[in-house]
């Protein structure tokens, strides 16, 4: 099933019992985020807040907080990684349309962000309201190729923002704009269709338009409309768009902000000014609560596929890769080991692939790498620290890792949790016979179905 906009996906989630509606009035300062976190921990569902204090705008959260909902968003059947790799192999160019719902309402004179949008204050020491699930769009100043990504954005005044521009391609774009002494046109989009939103965090090669990757995953072109005040295009069915520019050679304190890593970080960061806000009639605001499963899962599905594609080119014996839903800094790799050297060579290669990856665990084919309990079992039963651990120093790390050095260099660790070749019987994992499992699964599904109806 394909979704043209956020609203269609919300409706589908509700039909599939993947959405909870909250009727009580909650404040956008701490209360809505706290409820998002609670629902993530207790139920794992998406959540819609119908009454947000001070606004007539509902807030949706935990939208893609599970692999199941990402599978729904991408209309994926079978292996999710295979579906992703197939779709991104065949990009489809976006199409420009004359108009769309995101142009229903336009605020051009003296726009006031917080009077218009219920931007959330998430954690106790946060410096103020932050866009966390909005997608930032800009163009390469040399080629005109669009880039987009989710970057934390602090609301500092009526139309003034501070933002962390660390990740490519936008960080590279802005560097070149500053070298020319020019402002960088930006559009900040909240409330995209789920495929385009998912595609915004894909770790794409330089020069790749992520709207084309989104089209490939969706199986049809993404519809875009031109912005009114900047030379950019945005999804026609989005909920909100803020148009403006990042000022060259201006830095101001930004933060502290409670990051995905579970700690507060603060920097001197670039500043943007907003000139135009457009939105749909009766818009919905899409928020993302940091340090919940959504951040890990949203990033994990595409990044693990891209990591796998790169690793398999060097090591065909690698079968699968998985970024932990508990911590996007941990990469688990499943390998059909042919040599005792294989795990450590894969670890050495994988630790350099992504600055956010801080640990790599290698497991055998009989370990379910998607199950944290099984990965923990492999570490307890097939790993000896004195000979199966790899520590790599002086590696590029993440800007949001508080333990990294000032220039974001770090050390990383790898764990070879594979059994020694030739010792299968000694390290054999206990299991129930396949025939028995098939019979019992058929019986138990009936009981589960009856229970869910009650």
Summarised one tens digit per residue, pLDDT across range 327-342 is 888 999 999 999 999 9
pLDDT attached to residue 451 = 60
Summarised one tens digit per residue, pLDDT across range 109-122 is 889 999 999 999 99
Domain assignment of residue 387, yes or no: yes
Domain assignment of residue 98, yes or no: yes
Domain assignment of residue 59, yes or no: yes
Across 288-398, where does the E strand assignment appear?
A: 318-323, 330-335, 359-363, 389-396
Summarised one tens digit per residue, pLDDT across range 285-302 is 999 999 999 988 998 899
Strand 240-258 relative to strand 184-190: parallel, antiparallel, unpaired? antiparallel
Nearest residue to 308 (alpha-carbon basis) of 360, 258, 270: 360
| pLDDT for 452 beyond 70 | no
Q: Are 245 and 186 in contact (CB under 8 A)?
A: yes
Q: Are 429 and 450 in contact (CB under 8 A)?
A: no
Percent of the chain with pLDDT over 70: 99
Domain assignment of residue 310, yes or no: no
Task: pLDDT band for 424, please (50, 70, 90 cuts).
Answer: confident
Number of structural domains the chain divides into: 2
Average pLDDT, integer, range 407-426: 94
Average pLDDT, integer, range 67-74: 96
Domain assignment of residue 366, yes or no: yes
Q: What CATH number has the domain bearing residue 331? A: 3.40.1670.10
**Cα 265–Cα 401–Cα 409 angle in degrees, nearest 5:** 125
Domain assignment of residue 40, yes or no: yes
267 and 366 co-located in one domain: no
Average pLDDT, integer, range 161-173: 95
| pLDDT for 326 beyond 90 | no
Domain assignment of residue 433, yes or no: no
* This prediction's pTM: 0.90
Residue 385's Cβ-side half-sphere holds a number of Cα atoms within 13 Å equal to: 1
196 and 232 co-located in one domain: yes
Task: pLDDT band for 206, please (50, 70, 90 cuts).
Answer: confident
253 and 325 co-located in one domain: no
49 and 169 co-located in one domain: yes
Summarised one tens digit per residue, pLDDT across range 1-15 is 899 999 999 999 999
100 and 246 co-located in one domain: yes
167 and 263 co-located in one domain: yes
Across 143-222, where does the E strand assignment appear?
A: 146-150, 153-155, 160-163, 184-190
DSSP 355-384: TT--EEEEE-TTS-TT-HHHHHHHHHHS--
Tokens of 90: 């065949």
Strand partners, 131: 153
220 and 269 co-located in one domain: yes
Give the whole-angstrom CA distance, residue 320 versus residue 231. Answer: 41
Domain assignment of residue 448, yes or no: no
pLDDT attached to residue 434 = 86
| pLDDT for 71 beyond 80 | yes
Unique residue bearing structure tokens 């129930």? 432
286 and 350 co-located in one domain: no
28 and 155 co-located in one domain: yes
Q: In which domain, by residue range, is 402 found?
A: 315-416
Q: Are 131 and 177 in contact (CB under 8 A)?
A: no
When mean pLDDT is compared across 116-120, 208-212, 373-377, 435-439, the lowest value belongs to 435-439
């Amino acid at each position: 099933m394909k979704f043209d906009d956020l609203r269609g996906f919300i409706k589908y989630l509700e039909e599939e019992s993947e959405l909870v509606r909250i009727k009580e009035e909650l404040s956008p300062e701490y209360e809505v985020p706290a409820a998002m976190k609670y629902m993530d921990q207790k139920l794992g569902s998406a959540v819609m807040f119908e009454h947000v204090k001070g606004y007539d705008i509902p807030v949706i959260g935990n939208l893609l907080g599970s692999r199941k909902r990402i599978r729904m968003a991408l209309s994926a059947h079978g292996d999710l990684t295979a579906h992703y790799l197939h779709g991104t192999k065949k990009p489809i160019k976006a199409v420009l349309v004359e108009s769309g719902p995101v142009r229903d309402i336009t605020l051009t004179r003296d726009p006031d962000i917080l009077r218009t949008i219920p931007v959330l204050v998430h954690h106790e020491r946060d410096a103020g309201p932050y866009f966390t699930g909005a997608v930032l769009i800009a163009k390469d100043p040399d080629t005109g190729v669009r880039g987009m990504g989710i970057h934390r954005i602090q609301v500092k005044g009526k139309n003034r923002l501070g933002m962390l521009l660390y990740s490519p391609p936008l960080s590279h774009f802005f560097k070149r704009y500053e070298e020319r002494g020019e402002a960088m046109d930006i559009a900040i989009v909240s409330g995209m269709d789920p495929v385009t939103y998912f595609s915004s965090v894909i770790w794409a090669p330089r020069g790749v338009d992520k709207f084309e990757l989104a089209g490939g995953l969706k199986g049809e072109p993404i519809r875009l409309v031109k912005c009114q005040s900047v030379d950019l295009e945005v999804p026609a069915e989005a909920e909100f768009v803020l148009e403006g520019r990042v000022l060259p050679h201006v830095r101001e304190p930004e933060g502290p902000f409670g990051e995905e890593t579970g700690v507060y970080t603060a920097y001197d960061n670039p500043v943007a000014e907003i000139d135009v806000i457009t939105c749909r009639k009766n818009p919905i605001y899409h928020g993302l609560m940091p340090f919940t499963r959504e951040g890990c899962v949203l990033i994990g599905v595409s990044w693990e596929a891209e990591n796998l594609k790169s690793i398999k080119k060097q090591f065909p014996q690698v079968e699968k890769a998985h970024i932990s839903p508990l911590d996007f800094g941990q990469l688990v790799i499943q390998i059909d080991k042919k040599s005792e050297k294989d795990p450590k060579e894969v670890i050495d290669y994988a630790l350099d692939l992504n600055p956010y990856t801080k640990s790599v665990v290698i497991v055998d084919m009989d370990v379910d790498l998607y199950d944290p309990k099984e990965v923990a079992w492999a570490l307890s039963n097939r790993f000896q620290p004195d000979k199966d651990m790899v520590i790599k120093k002086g590696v590029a790390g993440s800007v949001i890792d508080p333990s990294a050095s000032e220039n974001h260099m770090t050390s990383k660790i790898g764990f070879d949790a594979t059994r020694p070749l030739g010792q299968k019987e000694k390290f054999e994992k206990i299991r129930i016979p396949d025939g028995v499992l098939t019979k019992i699964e058929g019986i138990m599904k009936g009981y589960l179905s009856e229970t869910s109806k009650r």
